[in-house]
Structure 1
Amino acid sequence: MENSLAFARRLDQADPLRSYRDRFYIPERAGKPLIYFCGNSLGLQPKSARQALDRELVIWQQHGVEGWFEGESPWLTVHQRCKQPLAQIVGAQPSEVCPMNNLTVNMHLLLTSFYQPGAGRTKILTIGGDFPSDQYALETHLQTRGLNPADALLEIFPRTSEYTWRTEDILTAIEEHRDSLALVLMSGLHYYTGQVFDMAAIAQKARELGIPVGFDLAHAVGNVPLKLHDWGVDFAFWCSYKYLNSGPGGVSGIFVHEKHHDASLPRLAGWWGYDETRRFDMTKGFVPMTGADGWQLSTPTVLAVAVHHAALQITAEAGLEALRQKSELLTGFLEFVLRQSGQPMDIMTPASPAGRGCQLSLLIENDGKAVFNRLTEQGIIGDWREPNCIRLAPTPLYNTFEEVWRVGQVFQSS
């Protein structure tokens, strides 16, 4: 690699995904495009989102309630539009995925089904310091089951003086607690460090020991290739407003492996998860739809699903393999220019491309907030995490190598 503008522009010229940037609105300040490295918090708006939203508004305007049944894409089956691209993105069968609700709602729903304590197995193994929403959900869910989180929650932390987790430590913990574990549930990619966990190895170990395993994919979906079906993951859930670019608070999604589609698992049910061929019979006794659709509760948010579908099509069209290839090069170039900048910092994120997504988490002990403010002043949008962490996420769908180089120049001058 070369730390030069000319080199960055050569990489951009050779980038097979370079045209995808034109399919997003790039935020501006005073008429000048910002360098947006915050897709790990909120992805940018696809230009196709407004058209997709307007189409549904016209249907609402012209058809009213009949929009549920009339037209080429009746709202009654609106969730089905997203199933094929979602399945492609997470490595699943279409029947195994469903767009619905928000992430933490789906987490509680799936915990109800897959966390079944008993016969000495009551513990949930997770990683320490996971995203706060997951921590709160696990804590309160255990309390509703009459269990003390201090006893039932087993948290695995990195080793002393290390920022990230070693796969062997997670696998060892699963083995050591095999007789007391009722569930393994953790993020697939850590929000703070940017570390990608070896989900395949973790799922295999849990499966060998007969322990259900699930993943929160909020920071992994649309970021790294996933093979949930082939890995034998029991369930997963995610949000869509980060790397899937489906808008603030966009609809979440779930994965339930087909081996659990026989309707025997307990679940919290709602009308929209009822067998759609009989849904309007309004009869007593819940009969779930087949597959992940049977975990739906309420009427889908049609406008949000329309935007979600428009955004999913872009990611599915680009393909996760191509996105991953660019992501590794883009993030690697960012690491290269940062290390050449002379700015004292520790990079928490693993150095191995296989161990990270499109994010670097920088620890700057002295004047880190001043460096972050300098980035903001120069039109670079990243993310500040107290007390001394800057997260930068160059996203392959819309960020460029020239932008990466310019970020490095600001660090060099800070």
Structure 2
Amino acid sequence: MTFEPTLDFARRLDAQDPLREFRQHFLIPPAPNGSRDSLYFCGNSLGLQPRTARAAVERQMQNWQELAVEGHFKGETPWMHFHQRLQDASAQVVGAKPVEVVVMNNLTTNLHLLLVSFYQPTATRYKVLMEGGAFPSDQYALETQVRMRGLEPDDAIVELTPRPGEHTLRTEDILAKIAELGDSLCTIIMGGINYYTGQVYDMAAITKAGHAVGAMVGFDLAHAAGNIPLQLHDWDVDFACWCSYKYLNSGPGGVSGVFVHERFADQPDLLRLAGWWGYDEQERFKMRKGFRPMRGAAGWQLSNSAILTMAVHEAALAEHMAAGGMPALRRKSEQLTGYLEFLINRLELPKSRLEIITPADPAQRGCQLSLLVHQNGRDLFDHLMEAGVIGDWREPNVIRLAPVPLYNTFEDVFHVGEVLAEWAARQ
């Protein structure tokens, strides 16, 4: 597509957008002066509230009021099986079979649970590979998992870093490091998208290379789920987890999703931390000793479902599915992000001042563009916020902007470009 830097062009694209109605399905916070909606470009941190979310919670509050404990078994949405209501849509989001997914807990809790099962080091195969500068929760989870096995993080954890002068990892360097580690590599755990740079990793190639040396391969999909097309089953990924509050718009601290490949569905002896809700539901209420897991990812559940947050998640997933799922969202996402990139590049600022460190190749990025601001970065961020552009500041000098296809418009992107141009003009 050939972009134009005009409001009329942006409005024409919005008029042609098959997803334009979905903006009205979300609650957008006001700009600081209250005269209009903010330009919300922070869905990579917290997605907006679906208008249906409040009613979804109210329905469960009503069930609690009227049914109390019987709500586990009665009513239109018995809580006993509520997680199953989320299974099909979650499977579609990540490209999985329903038996391979379950919604439960929060993201880092689930990462720990999965690492118990899929990081099982031996005396010779104990290395774990991750990207350098991963989100801190992932770093801390791995550090503690390694120490629990009596190992030292500095020895067991291998971090991938870009080549000197580059901001993102080259796929060939990732694959070369996997081959180099060879028989010493126990587990690979990487973000599907790096939270800082916005780079999408080649998960299919990484998984294939990891399996070739006998390693388990998993991904933290916090910034990928609901953002880019995923095919976890077909890529042969062993395990993955994601949060629901970014591109899946399920509220602050919302529930997390888990993927465990079908090949592990019938391995009840696979080491795991067990809980009552993961026990075979046909026998669960017999209260017997001796853990017998449910088949598939559901066997990793610990406790009964957090119904109020799951109710929000169900409402949010319904919006995602109504929009046509990832194929439709991805088409608009590539255009929105491409338009923002076009407007930023038109500023013609030297890289010594500002550069986009997210890959230019649409196949290697999702919604997010990360701006590395070498001079006066905080001044630019404050200027954006004062103008009603809600983005995200990451130390020491990166601003993340994410135009989300469910609720952002091309006119939104145009106005963000105007605010950036105002700042650039006074530099």
TM-score by length of 2: 0.96
Q: Who is 1:18 aligned against?
A: 20
Contact 2:347–2:421 (CA<8 Å) still a contact in 1?
yes
Pairing partner for 1:392 from 378, 381, 401: 401
- 2-structure distance, mates of 1:309, 1:31: 32
Q: Of the candidates 315, 319, 324, which is equivalent to residue 314 of structure 1?
A: 319
Are residues 1:407 and 2:409 paired?
no
- TM alignment of 1:261-280, pairs within 5 A: 261-262=265-266, 263-280=268-285
1:28 counterpart SS class: coil
Q: Which amino acid letter does the alignment assign opposite residue 105 of structure 2?
A: N
1:135 to 135, 139, 153: 139
- Alignment match of 2:60 (pick from 45, 56, 62): 56
Q: Give the CA deviation at 1:118.
A: 1.3
2:346 to 340, 348, 353: 340
Asked if 1:70 is matched to 2:79, the reply is no
Partner of 1:100 in structure 2?
A: 104
SS at 1:250 equivalent: coil
AA aligned opposite 2:293: P
Aligned residues: 414
- Coordinate RMSD, CA, aligned: 0.9
* Counterparts of residues 249-260 of structure 1 (less than 5 Å): 249-260=253-264
Of residues 344, 354, 374, the one that matches 2:363 is 354
SS at match of 2:50: coil
Q: Equivalents in 1 of 2:182, 2:203: separation in Å?
A: 18
In 2, distance between residues paired with 1:72 and 1:279? 22
CA distance in 1, matches of 2:242, 2:273: 19
Moved over 3 A (4+): none
Tell me how far 1:342 sits from its aligned partner: 4.1
**Residue from 204, 209, 220 that aligns with 1:205:** 209
Match of 1:9 in 2: 11
What is aligned with 1:36? 40
- Which residue pairs with 1:161 in the alignment? 165
The one-letter code matched in structure 2 to 1:281 is K
Q: Is the 8 A contact 1:89 1:226 kept in 2?
A: yes
> Helix, strand or coil for the counterpart of 1:332?
helix
Matches within 5 A, 1:227-238: 227-238=231-242
- Corresponding residue for 2:305? 300
Indicate the residue corresponding to 2:88 in structure 1: 84
Distance, in Å, in 1 between the alignment partners of 2:272 and 2:414 is 50
The structure 2 residue matched to 1:330, chosen from 326, 336, 348, is: 336
CA contact (8 A) 2:185 2:213 kept: no
CA distance in 1, matches of 2:348, 2:415: 15
Deviation of 1:119 after TM superposition, in Å, equals: 5.0
Correspondence list, 1:368-383, <5 A: 368-383=377-392
Residue type matched to 1:390 in 2? Answer: I
CA contact under 8 A between 2:248 and 2:317: conserved in structure 1? yes
Equivalent residue, structure 1, for 2:372:
363
- Superposed CA offset, 1:282-321 (max 9, x none): 1100010111000000111000001011101111222101
SS in 2 for 1:403: helix
- Tell me, yes or no, if the aligned pair for 1:342 and 1:412 is still in contact at 8 Å: no
SS in 1 for 2:49: coil
The answer to whether the Cα contact below 8 Å between 2:47 and 2:249 also exists between their aligned partners in 1 is yes
**Which range moved further: 111-120 or 252-261?**
111-120
Q: Secondary structure at the match of 2:65?
A: helix
- Residue identity (%): 60
Deviates more, 1:194-203 or 1:334-343: 334-343
Return closer, same or farther for 1:31/1:65 CA change in 2, 3 Å cut-off. Answer: farther
CA contact (8 A) 1:207 1:232 kept: no
2: CA distance between counterparts of 1:147 and 1:107? 19
Cα-to-partner distance string for 1:178-210 (whole Å, 9 max, x where unaligned): 110011111000000000000011111112222
Q: 1:188 aligns with which of 185, 192, 199?
A: 192
Q: Is the 8 A contact 1:341 1:409 kept in 2?
A: no
Gapped runs of 5+ residues in structure 2?
Answer: none
What's 2:120 paired with?
116
Separation (CA, whole Å) in 1 of partners of 2:35 and 2:357: 34
SS state at 1:362 partner: strand
Shift of 1:31: 4.2
